[in-house]
Amino acid sequence: MISKNKILDKVYTARTHAELMDAYKDWAGDYEEDTVGGFGYVAPKIAADVLHGHLDDPTALILDAGCGTGLVGEALSAQGYSNMDALDYSPDMLARAERKGLYHTHLNADLSRPLDIADDSYDAVVSAGTFTYGHVDASALGELARITKPGGFITITIRDGAFDDHDYPEKMRELETKRTWKQIEIRDEDYLQKEGVGCKVCTFQII
Confidence of residue 200 (pLDDT cuts 50, 70, 90): very high
3-state secondary structure (DSSP) of residue 58: coil
Confidence of residue 31 (pLDDT cuts 50, 70, 90): low
Query: Which of 111, 107, 106 is closest to 127 using CA atoms?
Result: 111
Query: Which of 130, 124, 145 is closest to 191 using CA atoms?
Result: 130
pLDDT at 52 > cutoff 90: yes
Q: How far from 192 is each of 45, 145, 157, CA to CA, in Å?
A: 12, 27, 12
pLDDT at 44: 97
- Residue 88 amino acid letter: D
pLDDT at 53: 98
Confidence of residue 15 (pLDDT cuts 50, 70, 90): low
Confidence of residue 39 (pLDDT cuts 50, 70, 90): confident
Average pLDDT over residues 172-189: 98
Q: For domain 4-206, which architecture applies?
A: 3-Layer(aba) Sandwich (3.40)
Domain ranges of the chain: 4-206
Show the DSSP H helices in the chain as ranges: 4-12, 17-27, 31-32, 43-52, 71-78, 91-98, 140-146, 162-165, 168-177
Confidence of residue 167 (pLDDT cuts 50, 70, 90): confident
pTM summary value: 0.88
pLDDT at 96: 93
Q: How far from 8 is each of 23, 31, 39, 54, 194, CA to CA, in Å?
A: 9, 10, 10, 32, 15
pLDDT at 25 > cutoff 50: yes
* Alpha-carbon gap, residue 65 to 63, rounded angstroms: 6
> CB–CB of 158/131 below 8 Å?
yes
- Residue 87 amino acid letter: L
> CB–CB of 100/74 below 8 Å?
yes
The Cβ of residue 81 has, within 10 Å, a number of other Cβ atoms equal to: 23
pLDDT at 7: 54
Q: Mean pLDDT across the chain, nearest whole number?
A: 89
Confidence of residue 2 (pLDDT cuts 50, 70, 90): very low
* Alpha-carbon gap, residue 58 to 95, rounded angstroms: 25
Confidence of residue 32 (pLDDT cuts 50, 70, 90): low
* Alpha-carbon gap, residue 94 to 106, rounded angstroms: 7
Lowest-confidence segment of 11-20, 91-100, 110-119, 197-206 by average pLDDT = 11-20
